[in-house]
Amino acid sequence: MEKIYARTKGLRPDVVSGFCPGCMHSTVIKLIGEVLEEMNQMDNAVAVLGIGCCGLHMEYMSYDNVTAPHGRACAVATGIKRANSKSLVYTYQGDGDFASIGLGESVSAANRGENITVIFINNGIYGMTGGQMAPTTLLGMKASTAPKGRIAEEHGYPMHMCEILNQLTAPYYLERTSCNTPQNVLKTRKAIKKAFQNQLDGKGFSMVEIVTSCPTNWGLDTMKSLDYLNEKMLTEYPLGVIRDNG
Amino acid sequence: MPKVEIRSESCKSCGYCVKFCPKQVLAIGDKVNSKGYEYAAAVKPEACIGCKMCGVVCPDAAIEVYK
């Protein structure tokens, strides 16, 4: 009997992830591990982790990683990539890290067309920090800093990072995917692989934005958070390739 | 015959595998792992077609599939 689906070597064999039940952070890190294993890049990869839930990967992943100061993952990745251009360098950031605190670094790295890959997890809320409102929080969505829900007049509108970066000339590949169904998980895997391949081919800045759920901070159980993701998040953040210069 | 194997200690009882299994092979069982989660189990193992959907969608890499 042949094993047709095995736990990737990108995850340490006996470690249980620190994420909440149903959290798709762990789905994404599993996919990254699978892709690196498939591309035979495990020894060559450097992950630059953002602050927040992303940091829980440190104990969980089996290859090199460094945690950047809050929001500065793209800047740290720039340094690593320029110092050692053969490494496969990717940043793994949530919406608070990439789109709020690190907005300057993120947009600047994209604008320079740095040859790095960004894996951007958009769940519309700060996770570990305490469920505060993020730039990507939907209108009407409750957060600990917006107990009545996000109101446009007070808090502005949700930010669409793929579309914002699409205004720049330099980025090479921008795609938005999700992990809400097995089909979309496989599409996400394909997008991550493509983004890594772009970097190995020296094409420049690639980003995969992955729309996920946060059952704990949304205050929903795993099944209801999946429904919320399907009905609300994916309406605001439609999936698809935003830019592919290849 | 295809077979699913669940690493019970990694399972967090999210139920995604149960939802997406096309043949209703899996269900959340009544046994509890050391972290206190009622882990998923194959209740109709003979119905498994080895499509891997449960493994693909499992966030915690708790499922391995044989064929």
In the block, residue with structure tokens 């949700």: A158
Distance CA B8, CA B35 (A): 10
H or E element that contains A111? helix A103-112
- CATH number for the B3-66 domain, one of 3.30.70.20, 3.40.720.10, 3.10.310.10, 3.10.150.10? 3.30.70.20
**Partners of residue B16 in chain A, C-beta under 8 Å:** 22, 222, 226
Domain locations in chain B?
3-66
Distance CA A207, CA A102 (A): 15
Distance CA A244, CA A241 (A): 7
Structure confidence by residue, pLDDT tens digits, A86-130: 999 999 999 999 999 999 999 999 999 999 999 999 999 999 999
How far is B6 from chain A, CA to nearest CA, in Å? 11
Structure confidence by residue, pLDDT tens digits, A184-235: 999 999 999 999 999 999 999 999 999 999 999 999 999 999 999 999 999 9
pLDDT in the model for residue A246: 80
Of B50, B53, B59, the CB nearest to A22: B59
Bridge-based pairing of strands B38-42 and B26-32 is: antiparallel
One-letter amino acid of A220: L
Domain locations in chain A?
25-244
How far is A114 from chain B, CA to nearest CA, in Å? 30
Strands of the B3-6 sheet, one edge to the other: A3-5, B63-66, B3-6
Of A1, A185, A223, the CB nearest to B56: A185
**Partners of residue B35 in chain A, C-beta under 8 Å:** 16
Distance CA A56, CA B4 (A): 28
Distance CA A185, CA A183 (A): 5
A25-244 has which CATH code?
3.40.50.970
Residue A218: HSE in the Cβ half-sphere, 13 Å Cα cutoff: 26
Distance CA B27, CA B39 (A): 9
- pTM for the full model? 0.96
pLDDT higher than threshold 90 for residue A1: no
Residue A153 banded pLDDT, cuts 50, 70, 90: very high
Q: Show pLDDT as tens, one digit a residue, over chain B (67 residues).
A: 899 999 999 999 999 999 999 999 999 999 999 999 999 999 999 999 999 999 999 999 999 999 9
Of B14, B65, B66, the CB nearest to A22: B14
If phi over 0 gives left and psi between -120 and 50 gives alpha, with beta otherwise, what is residue A155? Answer: alpha
